[in-house]
Amino acid sequence: MKTPEGREEHSAGRSSASASATETRTEAPNRNPPPAAVLEMIPPDARENRGNWRDMFASLAKHRYFRFLWIGTLGSFTAMQMQQVAKSNLGYELARETSPELAATLLGVVSVSMALPMLLFSMLGGVAADRWPKRNIVITSQALMCMLSLTVAALIFLDLINLWHLVVAGLVQGTAFAFNGPARQSLLPQLTGAQDMTNGIALNNAGMSATRVAGPALAGMLIAVPLVGFGGVFLVVAACYIWALVLLLRIPARYRADDAEDAAGGRWGRNYRSDAETAAGEGIFSGFRYIKASPILLTAMIMGTVPMLFGMPIASLLMPVFARALLGDHYSAGLGLMFTAAGVGALAGSFYVASLGDVKRRALLQLIIGLLWGVSLCAIGLGVQIVSFPFVLVALAVSGFAGSAFGVLNQTLVFDATDPALFGRIMGVYMMSFSLFPLVSLPAGFAADQIGAPLTAAGSGVIVVAFILAVALLNPSFRKLETSTTPRWDLNPDL
């Protein structure tokens, strides 16, 4: 029997009352595999590749609670983008008042204040996501960020705001996000189910890319309005968080798209403690032990870290440097166009992956897109060197496309190689890489000062290309990896 969301319901052995109360079920044969099955390599199931543009929004159409999470994500990430712009501008003004000769350094302290707790507590947040309902953790951490925004707004309106307030706010926000990030990321496949996971991750990334375009622009306009200013922006940020909280409260705390009663035929939904989780252990470093025991997962995690560390600073930190080199002192409008080009490219990359359906050679596709990303970074450096603004805009759009698609495919591969019982812990490790970006920006900026921004961009691109080629040549098992709705858990039972 078909449910309203298009999945089959397996009703054998259950009463009609319990069947009607269940929103989503995955049809399963009447068998119950032992927990040890999660340690086996299971041949991929035959499955139709839906890859066409009509299926681009499949996960939104089929999964009601994923829609709530996705729409809420638009609100929460718009809030984060607006808050980042407002905090940076306000922090720079306060730093100039506090110590003009150290304004840039003090602004860096404000930026690092959020990254440090993310680096320290993301693994703890991952453990929490595996132990308690992920939805509750997202709600709690987001409510804390909402109250923080209201507090900063009150300090601004009362004319009591100081630079150290922003540093403390960064520490609190970074701690909240260390719990919010792993829980939110591991909640996503729980709401979409295995079949629509890739599409859901891509659409989630597309939503975040859209906020990168709209959020900073909205914050900049509001700051310029005298009756709004910084305080008003932080109030709007709080309102966006409240919007997301209202939607999150509509998601049942322990809902699963792949229901536990049908775990035999489904991919996830197990309500017992798996052998993989038992082998990895209970501690905060259990995620690292699990990653070490799985060669494919280890490769996917490295793939999601090294290219990002070398590619992301080029698309963020050095953008003003590129704009000034291309357009001279009056580069503000051109800088906005450059950020927009990168954001539109990232949005297109997310939609591209969302349209693919189930690509079995997902790892190979990631390697190809990674090469495109590295080449586009080299093209940015070339465009700045020859002072061609249109060329740089195109290169930025291609870089945004490739970087976004690369990230979505990588996160999907990480989930594919992970036992669902450890999603939170693995996402905790995965989120740690994001906290490294502000730290890596410091040597990237130093390199730009020493050898020039064009050569820095080109050098980053060469490193990305060389790394991707090394993985492709030295790890053929990853290059040839085929993915499907059946998991490939490579955990070593002797861990």
- Specify whether 193 is located in the same domain as 82: yes
Token pair of 88 as six digits: 């940076």
Token pair of 253 as six digits: 């705390």
**Residue 87 vs residues 22, 230, 231, 321, 457: alpha-carbon distances, Å:** 45, 8, 11, 21, 27
- Specify whether 398 is located in the same domain as 464: yes
Rounded to 10 deg, the angle between the 306-316 and 423-451 helix axes is 50
Alpha helices by DSSP H, listed for 225-274, are 229-248
- pLDDT of the residue at 9: 37
Average pLDDT of the segment spanning 275-284? 56
- pLDDT of the residue at 259: 53
Token pair of 411 as six digits: 């996160």
Residue numbers of the domain that contains 418: 276-495
Report the C-alpha gap between 450 and 364 in whole angstroms.
Answer: 36
- pLDDT of the residue at 343: 83
DSSP codes of every residue in 19-55:
HHH-S------S----GGGGGSBPPPPP-----SGGG
- Is 471 domain-assigned? yes
Give 2's strand partners: 8
Which band of pLDDT confidence, cut at 50, 70 and 90, is reported for residue 282? low
- Specify whether 454 is located in the same domain as 335: yes
Which band of pLDDT confidence, cut at 50, 70 and 90, is reported for residue 237? very high
Lowest-pLDDT range, 63-77, 147-161, 357-371? 357-371
Report the C-alpha gap between 230 and 232 in whole angstroms.
Answer: 5
- Is 12 domain-assigned? no
Q: Is the pLDDT of residue 26 over 80?
A: no
Average pLDDT of the segment spanning 255-268? 50
SS3 state of residue 223:
helix
- pLDDT of the residue at 27: 37
Given 197, 224, 255, which residue is the final one in a domain? 255
Among 89-93, 271-275, 302-306, top mean pLDDT goes to 302-306
In the structure, how many helices (H) and strands (E) does the chain have? 19, 0
- Specify whether 237 is located in the same domain as 311: no
- pLDDT of the residue at 65: 94
- pLDDT of the residue at 264: 32
Lowest-pLDDT range, 140-144, 327-331, 461-465? 327-331
- CA-nearest of 462, 305, 470 to 379 is 462
- Is 338 domain-assigned? yes
- Is 160 domain-assigned? yes
Residue 364 CA, chain-centre distance (Å), reads 21
Residue type, 255: Y
Report the C-alpha gap between 183 and 361 in whole angstroms.
Answer: 28
SS3 state of residue 68:
helix
Residue 487's CATH number:
1.20.1250.20
Domains of the chain: total: 2
- Is 235 domain-assigned? yes
DSSP codes of every residue in 396-462:
HHHHHHHHHHHHHHHHHHHHHTS-GGGHHHHHHHHHHHHHHHHHHHHHHHHHHHHH-HHHHHHHHHH
Give 41's strand partners: 488
- Specify whether 285 is located in the same domain as 404: yes
Residue type, 76: S
- Specify whether 150 is located in the same domain as 288: no
- pLDDT of the residue at 483: 58
Given 223, 255, 287, which residue is the final one in a domain? 255
Give per-residue pLDDT as tens, 434-479: 777 766 766 777 787 788 888 989 999 999 999 999 999 988 888 7
- pLDDT of the residue at 187: 92
Q: What is the chain's mean pLDDT, rounded?
A: 78
Q: Is the pLDDT of residue 87 over 90?
A: no
- Is 22 domain-assigned? no
- CA-nearest of 293, 296, 294 to 477 is 296
DSSP codes of every residue in 106-154:
HHHHHHHHHHHHHHHHHHHHHHHHHHS-HHHHHHHHHHHHHHHHHHHHH
Output 1 or 221, whichever has higher pLDDT: 221
- Specify whether 149 is located in the same domain as 198: yes
Q: Is the pLDDT of residue 268 over 50?
A: no
- Specify whether 75 is located in the same domain as 169: yes
Average pLDDT of the segment spanning 238-261? 84
- Is 460 domain-assigned? yes
Q: Are 304 and 407 in contact (CB under 8 A)?
A: yes
SS3 state of residue 8:
strand
Q: Rg of the chain's alpha carbons, rounded to an integer? A: 23
pLDDT over 70 for what percent of the chain? 78
- pLDDT of the residue at 171: 93
- Specify whether 312 is located in the same domain as 460: yes
Give per-residue pLDDT as tens, 191-209: 998 888 888 888 988 888 8
Token pair of 53 as six digits: 């543009």
- Specify whether 422 is located in the same domain as 289: yes
- CA-nearest of 24, 41, 328, 323 to 191 is 24
- Specify whether 303 is located in the same domain as 163: no
Token pair of 214 as six digits: 């709209």
- Is 189 domain-assigned? yes
Average pLDDT of the segment spanning 317-334? 77
- Specify whether 68 is located in the same domain as 196: yes
